[in-house]
């Protein structure tokens, strides 16, 4: 029942946002640090950024974490910053998932859904890849295993190579 309630609340939040408010390719990345005051967000200035919206109840989110860890470990020293944004309302759910999945990248808890409202992810997970100038260049709806992982690598490598 708790799971069903969480899913319904998250979907209601995501569905209440109009399509006009959706972050799209070519738009600037909203400032997560302003949307979630007090969140420990790394400096993204001049970096390639992957912002991944996830939830503890999301099966594909669990599968994406090892890939996101690999990306951060492989490309972090080259200018990539991965930020995972949880839309879980319950802090315990966020903390349990974070502890179990041991992220090598920064995690923030968006319990009030302010970042989710600004980005308007259509599904969990949804990832936004942002260039060094802060512009959204790629959006991935869902996580499809090795196919998505290969797309991440190609897109990140191209953005890191661009000066």
Residue 15's pLDDT is what?
A: 41
Residue 38's pLDDT is what?
A: 82
Domain ranges of the chain: 2-16+25-161
Q: Is the overall model pTM greater than 0.95, yes or no?
A: no
The pLDDT tens digits of the residues spanning 24-48 come to 999 999 999 889 988 889 999 999 9
* Positions of the chain with pLDDT under 70: 1-21
**Which pairs with CB-CB distance under 8 Å and at least 24 residues apart come from 67-76?**
67/143, 67/148, 67/149, 67/152, 68/103, 68/104, 68/105, 69/102, 69/103, 69/104, 69/105, 70/149, 71/105, 71/152, 71/153, 71/156, 72/104, 72/105, 73/104, 75/48, 75/156, 75/157, 75/160
Residue 83's pLDDT is what?
A: 97
Residue 12's pLDDT is what?
A: 41
Residue 103's pLDDT is what?
A: 94
Residue 80's pLDDT is what?
A: 98
Residue 2's pLDDT is what?
A: 46
Class of domain 2-16+25-161: alpha beta
Catalytic residue IDs: 58, 61
Residue 21's pLDDT is what?
A: 63
Residue 53's pLDDT is what?
A: 97
């Amino acid at each position: 029942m708790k799971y069903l309630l969480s899913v319904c609340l998250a979907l209601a939040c995501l569905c209440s946002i109009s399509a006009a408010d959706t972050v799209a390719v070519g738009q600037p990345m909203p400032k997560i640090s302003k949307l979630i005051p007090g969140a420990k967000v790394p400096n993204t200035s001049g970096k390639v950024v992957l912002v991944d919206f996830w939830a503890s109840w999301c099966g594909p989110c669990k599968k994406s974490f090892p890939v996101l860890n690999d990306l951060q470990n492989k490309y972090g020293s080259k200018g990539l910053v991965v930020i995972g944004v949880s839309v879980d309302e319950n802090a315990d759910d966020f903390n349990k998932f974070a502890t179990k999945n041991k992220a090598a990248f920064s995690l923030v808890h968006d319990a009030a859904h302010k970042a989710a409202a600004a980005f308007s992810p259509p599904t969990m997970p949804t990832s936004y890849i942002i260039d060094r100038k802060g512009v959204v260049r790629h959006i991935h709806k869902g996580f499809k295993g090795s196919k998505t992982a290969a797309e991440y690598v190609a897109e990140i490598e191209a953005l890191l190579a661009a000066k």
